[in-house]
Amino acid sequence: MWKAVGIDAWLAARKTSLEDARGTVTGIIGRVKNEGDAALIDLAKKYCTLEHVAVTDEERESAYDEVDAQVVEALIEAHARIERFHERQRPRDLWFEEMEPGVVLGMKSTGLNRVGLYVPGGRAAYPSSALMCAVPAKVAGVKEICACSPPPIKPLTLVALDIAGVTEIYQAGGAQAVAAMALGTESIRPVQKIVGPGNIYVTLAKMMLREHAEIDFPAGPSEIGIIADSTAHPKVVAADVLAQAEHDPNAACILITTDPTLPAKVGKEIEKMVAEAPRKEIIVEALKNSGYTVVKDIDEAIAASDVVAPEHLSIQVADPLMVVTKVQNAGAIFVGRYSAVACGDYAVGTNHCLPTAGYSKMYSGLDVAHFCKTASVEIIDRDGLEAIGDIVETIAEAEGLYAHSQSVKVRRAL
């Protein structure tokens, strides 16, 4: 099952078509638009009976009773690290600089007012996704942070959302949750932006409702690219392959190596580990989407990696920092033997909401900037206006916009 793959073929297979979901999602959006909360409650019936979609304060608090104290502690510790790192990303609230005498320019950054988080649920709870979505919003200064997760919402998810300081929590999943946050219902007021990972229904609903609420980026099944040379430890490489593969039958891994003997060694370790893995069936499926490619040198490895633009890039080579400086496209870059991707998934501090399927060529992973917007600030005095007045008047008149020119002339004549 561990086989050689072509770079282009691997990437091509990452592109998920959302078309199959379009009919269903269109129907769900229509229902939420017309029926509001009733649609959410009706669509939840498949899983549980909901009285109301909003989670109460009591439900939030009692969730802690159902979660192991050690897990709560771990979530608090992870939250502190994620918050600390994201604080470093926060843009300056307001800065100015004198660009020339009489001309002071700057930027003002403000958090969005109201955002929505989609936290996946269903079969399992993903408290880590709750933290990853909520923390950058909180650090950005977003006042109203509303989260949706599929009913019945998991106590683990509730605890994580509570630790992260989310202001509103609703039991709604899938495309209906996205529709509710984008369009609003009786319980849920519309948000400005919706972030967070989901299945193809969630992703397509986000794409289809962008005229109502902005989104982070399209995200699909998880993936890893590993650049490795002969110094890589086969067991470490294999462990990261398995960790990625266990996410989803559609997850995928690619090993790009300069060492022609490495793939076989990694393959052997994978075989041993798969046999013992609790999520063996999922891993076996995902390994069908996975494989290795042997390249002639590190530069070729970097070039190949930049083509696939992996969500996660692990660098297992003798001089990994050189690769970091050269690589162009990746969601998150894990450097060296001890930097397990799982650390970034949970606790080291960086964000795990990342673009997949080559989208790291054009999108950033979730960060504080996703929840901020900026305004430029222009402060010009009489001297500054004199310095640039002729330039402004000349271009304005060349564009035929005479009142623009006049607005400068009026001031120069004061």
Identify residues 148-177 at the interface with a copy of itself (CB under 8 A).
156
Residue type, 50: L
Q: CB 287 → a copy of itself: shortest distance, Å?
A: 12
Per rule CB under 8 A, is residue 11 in the interface with a copy of itself?
no
Question: Which residue number, 45 or 382, has a Cβ lying nearer to a copy of itself?
Answer: 382
Tokens linked to 338:
């001890």
Question: Residue 193: beta bridge partners?
Answer: 115, 214
How many residues contact a copy of itself, by CB under 8 A?
122
Choosing from 279, 294, 300, 303, the residue that interacts with a copy of itself (CB under 8 A) is 279
Go through the chain and tell me how many residues it has.
414
Q: CB 144 → a copy of itself: shortest distance, Å?
A: 13
Q: CB 49 → a copy of itself: shortest distance, Å?
A: 25
Site string for a copy of itself, 186-225 (x = CB under 8 A): ------xx-------------x--xx--x---x-------
Identify residues 349-368 at the interface with a copy of itself (CB under 8 A).
349-351, 360-365, 367
Residue type, 21: A
Q: At a CB cut-off of 8 Å and minimum separation 6, what does 368 contact?
A: 86, 89, 90, 91, 136, 139, 140
Question: Which residue number, 329 or 356, has a Cβ lying nearer to a copy of itself?
Answer: 329
Identify residues 84-123 at the interface with a copy of itself (CB under 8 A).
84-85, 88-89, 94, 97, 99-100, 103, 105, 107-108, 110, 112-113
Q: Residue 240's closest CA among 178, 316, 185, 295? A: 316
Per rule CB under 8 A, is residue 242 in the interface with a copy of itself?
yes
Q: Do the beta carbons of residue 159 and residue 63 sit within 8 Å?
A: yes
Q: Residue 203's closest CA among 223, 218, 221? A: 218
Choosing from 148, 232, 246, 316, the residue that interacts with a copy of itself (CB under 8 A) is 246
Question: Which residue number, 54 or 207, has a Cβ lying nearer to a copy of itself?
Answer: 207
Residue type, 412: R
- The stretch among 3-11, 31-39, 259-267, 378-386 that binds a copy of itself (CB under 8 A) is 378-386
Segments of 238-370 assigned E as strands: 252-257, 291-294, 312-316, 332-335
Per rule CB under 8 A, is residue 63 in the interface with a copy of itself?
no
The gap from C-alpha 407 to its chain's centroid, in whole angstroms, comes to 45
Q: CB 282 → a copy of itself: shortest distance, Å?
A: 9
Per rule CB under 8 A, is residue 71 in the interface with a copy of itself?
yes
Identify residues 219-238 at the interface with a copy of itself (CB under 8 A).
233, 235-236
d(CA 340, CA 106): 40
d(CA 144, CA 141): 9
Identify residues 306-335 at the interface with a copy of itself (CB under 8 A).
313, 324-325, 327-335
- Indicate which residues carry an active-site annotation: 311-312
d(CA 190, CA 251): 32
Identify residues 379-398 at the interface with a copy of itself (CB under 8 A).
379-382, 384-385, 388, 390-392, 394-396, 398
Annotated binding site for Zn(2+): 244, 247, 345, 404
> With the C-alpha atoms ordered 326, 330, 335, 336, is the resulting torsion angle positive or negative?
negative
d(CA 107, CA 372): 12
Per rule CB under 8 A, is residue 24 in the interface with a copy of itself?
no
Q: Residue 226's closest CA among 10, 1, 9? A: 10
Residue type, 392: V
- By three-state DSSP, how is residue 357 classified? coil
d(CA 216, CA 224): 20
Question: Which residue number, 60 or 326, has a Cβ lying nearer to a copy of itself?
Answer: 326
Question: Which residue number, 53 or 194, has a Cβ lying nearer to a copy of itself?
Answer: 194
Question: Which residue number, 167 or 364, has a Cβ lying nearer to a copy of itself?
Answer: 364
Per rule CB under 8 A, is residue 1 in the interface with a copy of itself?
no
Per rule CB under 8 A, is residue 408 in the interface with a copy of itself?
yes
Tokens linked to 171:
């039991």
Query: In whole angstroms, how large is the CA radius of gyration of the chain?
Result: 25
Choosing from 16, 128, 176, 199, the residue that interacts with a copy of itself (CB under 8 A) is 128
